[in-house]
A and B are shown apart, each in its own frame.
Chain A
């Protein structure tokens, strides 16, 4: 079920109503109900894959319980590896099996041997990368004794499958989400109200920004070999906004929906396009994933406390794995690699922790021009790297870059459905301006003192959603494929 579908507009009020009026009596009933509702939500796509979530839940619940009881380090390690093998095994089979067999076959053919790839017709279960990482983090935290395992199986099941963040995150940590799930939730007006507002803003980003740009991006990337460099540059910029609107929009809806059920999820995006360097970008983009990699891969590998050589190796590794997490394609690996190459110079020059303040650009001061330049440069680099992310293959990305840089020409691009391009520029300019105004708090996009200003803004946002919702584009979220 998609957040932006009419089905969800029926599902959510029904679940909300029953949650607060029928199942409010005890935490067990609330959690059982959350599990049921989440299974319906997930089963709407393909009920067969519910089995994978159930397997993941049972395995990690049992392993974590045993990890807590077990004192012997060897046995504990074995248990941890069992969890890693099951979770990564499922993910590996469903997501990467064909990639590895095909890459293996290609490697052989490169040396003149023909090997059948043996690829299988495997459907990728929606959200598998997200919930696998979430359950893994629970087991690792219990192993590291950072967390006491829960005794409540239903509570744990609710943690794994909590529907607002099940299919595309934020990838929650048990230390944040589980205590909230194990406690009875009480309705809080402020929380529910801010949740609704965040949902509206997220939906606007998805529908008005991402979905309205999608047909142009699809057209430009599909015909990259025929378009002039100006159009290809436009395609990359539009994709940058599309993926931001799509994914941060999804995260906002997920966080907002959770608030309606009395649960606070972590922030996943903090206005990443206002970042002044790549390091800051990664503290603002898909935060739940980048902190996951930091905590469970980068730090165990030695983090930044090792020799510079080791740190660089770790950074390279983390970015490449992070790229590979997105999809079984060399394009994502290269995308991760490119970001590591952009990050490493900052690390060497000690500038990777330069901008740590939570919101960008606190007022005008001397360095405004320098900051502006940084924002622009970061945006350009990120935008160019998106070409790898969006391209179907490395060959397509190469064609795209070749034509963009070595075939300089300008031509006005016309929208596939005949709409005026200037309207999209105005829309994006207004969007960037609004994001700049609200940049202090990513969880409250309508933080204005005046009630009437807030009211007008909600109404305009809702109108925007309605106006663009009708555009009739394929509305599934990009990150569902990961």
Chain B
């Protein structure tokens, strides 16, 4: 029996130490090899989820870099913002995607605490996590964080060199608008059926507001265009904005009049839609959409 426990203990110790060593090596190589430095002339960044990712073409909008990533909740946008600002002191403006679904309760169960989502995010955001961020996630999902901690050690995060792995403008090459319209007619969309605010997203949006205030960053909330079939279905977010964040400038482009060809689905712009929107945005014509 003693031999059994000795060998088992030794094997476990080796595994644990290897994982700790790999975590350290990962972090060191990541910090050493990955750079989050933007071009010196870039002073505006766009953060948020796929909604902003596929709307703001940073090749058209001058001095900007779109760092939005699909299904990023405010928790991850906050982590990213801290890192970007640290390496890019010239940043002075942050555009942050702010739509009904971003502050809806269902985001917590999907984009934040869902096991699969948390697992995949943890792998790439682990080097970004501060003690408070880690403690927050650990409190909410202790089992997942425990397994995630081990798992991330084996994921060579340093291969994700540079900013592109953490988001960026992309062109969508599919169209499922008709399918989605039919689905909307038949089933509706959960985030538009009844609004239930997310305390966690609210908390992290507030953290972003505070961070911007403390670092002299101008934060601007932006709600990119959505298909007109959803225009009357996002009243909940306006109440939320007025109640908690009315002091933050907010541009609501969601009700812009845009034809169907500018969308690939109900909430994402096609490349032509994104170019059209970004050109207007760049020209300043969209200032009238200030909420």
* Interface-side segment among B13-21, B127-135, B281-289: B13-21
Q: Report the minimal beta-carbon distance from A336 to chain B, rounded to whole angstroms.
A: 34
The digit string for A452-469, where 1 denotes a CB below 8 A from any CB of B, is 000000110011001101
The digit string for B147-173, where 1 denotes a CB below 8 A from any CB of A, is 110111111000000000000000000
Q: Is B139 an interface position by the 8 A CB rule? A: no
- How many chain A residues touch B (Cβ–Cβ < 8 Å)? 20
In the complex, the chain B residue whose C-beta lies closest to that of A419 is B120
Q: Do A459 and B14 form a contact, CB below 8 Å, given A187-B1, A466-B154?
A: yes
- How many chain B residues touch A (Cβ–Cβ < 8 Å)? 30
**Does A470 lie within 8 Å of B123, measured CB to CB?**
yes
* Interface-side segment among B75-83, B91-99, B111-119, B216-224: B111-119
The digit string for B1-31, where 1 denotes a CB below 8 A from any CB of A, is 1011001100100110011000000000000
The digit string for B195-215, where 1 denotes a CB below 8 A from any CB of A, is 000000000000000000000
Q: Do A196 and B15 form a contact, CB below 8 Å, given A466-B147, A469-B147, A472-B114?
A: no
Specify which chain B residues have a CB less than 8 angstroms from the CB of A196 in the assembled complex: 8
Q: Is A6 an interface position by the 8 A CB rule? A: yes
Most chain A beta-carbon neighbours within 10 Å: one of B4, B114, B152: B4
Q: Is A189 an interface position by the 8 A CB rule? A: yes
Q: Do A470 and B119 form a contact, CB below 8 Å, given A193-B7, A459-B15?
A: yes
Specify which chain A residues have a CB less than 8 angstroms from the CB of B146 in the assembled complex: 6
Specify which chain B residues have a CB less than 8 angstroms from the CB of A462 in the assembled complex: 11, 15
Q: Is B105 an interface position by the 8 A CB rule? A: no
Specify which chain B residues have a CB less than 8 angstroms from the CB of A472 in the assembled complex: 114-120, 144
**Does B4 lie within 8 Å of A192, measured CB to CB?**
yes
Q: Is B231 an interface position by the 8 A CB rule? A: no
Q: Report the minimal beta-carbon distance from B8 to chain A, rounded to whole angstroms.
A: 7
Q: Report the minimal beta-carbon distance from A214 to chain B, rounded to whole angstroms.
A: 11
Specify which chain A residues have a CB less than 8 angstroms from the CB of B15 in the assembled complex: 459, 462-463
Q: How far is it, in angstroms, between the C-alpha of A189 and the C-alpha of B2 when the chains are bound?
A: 9
Q: Is B143 an interface position by the 8 A CB rule? A: yes
**Does B151 lie within 8 Å of A466, measured CB to CB?**
yes
**Does A189 lie within 8 Å of B116, measured CB to CB?**
no
Specify which chain B residues have a CB less than 8 angstroms from the CB of A187 in the assembled complex: 1, 4
Specify which chain B residues have a CB less than 8 angstroms from the CB of A469 in the assembled complex: 147, 150-151
Q: Do A193 and B116 form a contact, CB below 8 Å, given A458-B11, A463-B154, A470-B151?
A: no
Q: Is B269 an interface position by the 8 A CB rule? A: no
The digit string for A74-115, where 1 denotes a CB below 8 A from any CB of B, is 000000000000000000000000000000000000000000
Q: Is A471 an interface position by the 8 A CB rule? A: yes
Q: How far is it, in angstroms, between the C-alpha of A459 and the C-alpha of B117 when the chains are bound?
A: 27
Specify which chain A residues have a CB less than 8 angstroms from the CB of B115 in the assembled complex: 472-473
The digit string for B169-198, where 1 denotes a CB below 8 A from any CB of A, is 000000000000000000000000000000
Q: Is B237 an interface position by the 8 A CB rule? A: no
Q: How far is it, in angstroms, between the C-alpha of A472 and the C-alpha of B110 when the chains are bound?
A: 12
Q: How far is it, in angstroms, between the C-alpha of A20 and the C-alpha of B154 when the chains are bound?
A: 35
Q: Is A417 an interface position by the 8 A CB rule? A: yes
In the complex, the chain A residue whose C-beta lies closest to that of B10 is A455
Q: Do A467 and B154 form a contact, CB below 8 Å, given A459-B14, A459-B18, A462-B15?
A: yes
Specify which chain B residues have a CB less than 8 angstroms from the CB of A470 in the assembled complex: 119, 122-123, 147-148, 150-152
Q: How far is it, in angstroms, between the C-alpha of A472 and the C-alpha of B1 when the chains are bound?
A: 35
Specify which chain B residues have a CB less than 8 angstroms from the CB of A466 in the assembled complex: 19, 147, 150-151, 153-154
Specify which chain B residues have a CB less than 8 angstroms from the CB of A189 in the assembled complex: 1, 3-4
Q: Report the minimal beta-carbon distance from B178 to chain A, rounded to whole angstroms.
A: 13
Q: How far is it, in angstroms, between the C-alpha of A20 and the C-alpha of B5 when the chains are bound?
A: 12
The digit string for A158-190, where 1 denotes a CB below 8 A from any CB of B, is 000000000000000000000000000001010
Within 8 A of B (CB), among A434-482: 458-459, 462-463, 466-467, 469-473
Q: Report the minimal beta-carbon distance from B101 to chain A, rounded to whole angstroms.
A: 19
Residues of A with Cβ closer than 8 Å to B? Answer: 6, 20, 187, 189, 192-193, 196, 215, 417, 458-459, 462-463, 466-467, 469-473
Besides A470-B148, A473-B115, 16 new A-B residue pairs in contact (Cβ under 8 A), listed by A number: A6-B147, A187-B1, A189-B3, A192-B4, A215-B116, A459-B18, A466-B153, A466-B154, A467-B154, A467-B155, A469-B150, A469-B151, A470-B122, A471-B119, A472-B115, A473-B116
Residue contacts A-B, CB under 8 angstroms, 12 given: A189-B1, A196-B8, A417-B116, A459-B11, A467-B155, A469-B147, A470-B123, A470-B150, A472-B115, A472-B119, A472-B120, A472-B144
